Amino acid sequence: MITPSQFNKFFLSSYSYAKIAIILLVFTSQVIAKKFTLVIEPSYPINQAKEIYEPFKNWLSQQTGYELELVINKNYYTYWLKAKKDELPDFTLDAPHVAAYRMKNKGYTAVATTIEPLSFHLISLDEPAQNETVQNFMVSKKIIMLPSPSLATAYFKQWFTDLFAAPIKDITALSWQESVEIVFDGSAQAAIVPNWMYNLYPNFSSLIESKQTPGSTFTVSPNVPKEIADKFQSVLLSMKNDDQAYDVLVELNTSGFKEPELTLYNGLLDLLPSN
């Protein structure tokens, strides 16, 4: 027969174990339910961007076991403004100059970049006359591009330094695709677009091409544990060898990801606004 003292001891012991089990269960469920944020460079209108990047988000979630929430800002200015604030998204797929900023000023780590290097082209359906410079050819002509601080605006500033004989800079495009369409319909005479967009339209002439930089860069916040960062890196680097990832990569305009060469990010901060 169990004595009262034995019963109390058994009850308290069972209660303690149960309490510990509940605490462990709650803690485990919180870890499993952890949702990481993934900020995407805003190269498309928000609804279109969600359609394009949703397969990428789902692929990463399936392969890593972690849920992701896409964060897509409405324009480049907001994207840059938030990058400078104290809030640290867990992961980003950044333009290379913004990735460089996060690495230097926010403690982020670049774990993957697109295999193909990135460059920008000034494209037009017309060409300068023989012996005419591009700068003279473009005087008073409209050039369409994404807003500052996109790389298009940075290269516009490099290419056209004479304020009294400059083209008209139009930063109203919502996507690189829209930039091309605006030139096609005659509302602008030229556009500045990335190489992967230019390559889709052989009827355009490239009047100027920028230097090459790393492509879109996947970065990880300093708040993300290293083992999780390593897992995401492994998944990203393996995509190029996985036939099932082909459609996802097509949407990202790349054949896959590789490890970043960090020295190539040196100097990219100069392409960002100084303030």
pLDDT tops 70 at residue 16: no
CB 38 within 8 Å of CB 5:
no
pLDDT at 28: 39
For 23-58, the pLDDT digits (tens) are 444 343 344 457 999 999 999 999 999 999 999 999
**Domains plus CATH for the chain?**
34-117+214-271 (3.40.190.10), 120-209 (3.40.190.10)
Average pLDDT value for the chain: 90
pLDDT at 3: 59
3-class DSSP state of 171: coil
For 81-96, the pLDDT digits (tens) are 999 998 899 999 999 9
Residue of 19 and 99 predicted with greater confidence: 99
Name 238's Cβ contacts closer than 8 Å, sequence gap at least 6. none
pLDDT at 29: 38
Q: Supply 102's token pair.
A: 């996060």
For 198-253, the pLDDT digits (tens) are 999 999 999 999 999 999 999 999 999 999 999 999 999 999 999 999 999 999 99
Phi, psi (rounded to 5 degrees) for 163: -65, -20
Instruction: Tell me how far apart the alpha carbons of residues 250 and 267 are, in angstroms, rounded to a whole number.
Output: 29
| Residue 224 C-beta-side C-alpha neighbours within 13 Å | 27
> Of how many residues is the chain composed?
275
For 102-132, the pLDDT digits (tens) are 999 999 999 999 999 999 999 999 999 999 9
